Amino acid sequence: MKMEYYLCKKCMHVISNPVCSECFLKHVNEWLAGRDIDSAKKKEVVNELKRVIEISDEGLSDIDCVICHQNTVDFCTYCLVLRTRWVLKKLRDKGIVEDFDDIFNYAIWTH
């Protein structure tokens, strides 16, 4: 068993559950698709997320994504979640942010 650990390049916390930006965005998109937001706004959110989250494709680390095992991961999910919340807050819809917290703080990242 590998005992190495990796630090997030943004917040310097240990990455315990490495998920690449691509897989993370995919989950966010799936979640968004089921929400009651008009499609123009959804598009806006997705584009903005791509801008703020897809920052990790430089391949600097050699830690594999636990979901796709193809991309490397430079940032912890906490940082990804934090950035997504910033973007979602711009929608000025409290329900959306709360729903996001519910889903992404527990369901997806705990297994």
Site residues, Zn ion (CB under 5 A): 8, 10-11, 20, 23, 65, 67-68, 71, 76, 79
Q: Please say which residue, 14 or 40, places its beta carbon nearer to Zn ion.
A: 14
* CA dist., res. 96 & res. 87, Å (int): 11
Q: Report the residue number, 95 or 105, with the smaller CB distance to Zn ion.
A: 105
- Cβ 25 to Zn ion shortest distance, Å: 10
Q: How far is the CB of 74 from Zn ion (least distance, A)?
A: 9
d(CA 77, CA 27): 12
What does the angle CA 11 – CA 23 – CA 108 come to, to the nearest 5 degrees? 80
| Least distance from Zn ion to the Cβ atom of residue 107, Å | 17
Separation CA 41–CA 21 (nearest Å): 21
How many residues are there in the chain?
A: 111
Question: Between 10 and 41, whose beta carbon lies closer to Zn ion?
Answer: 10
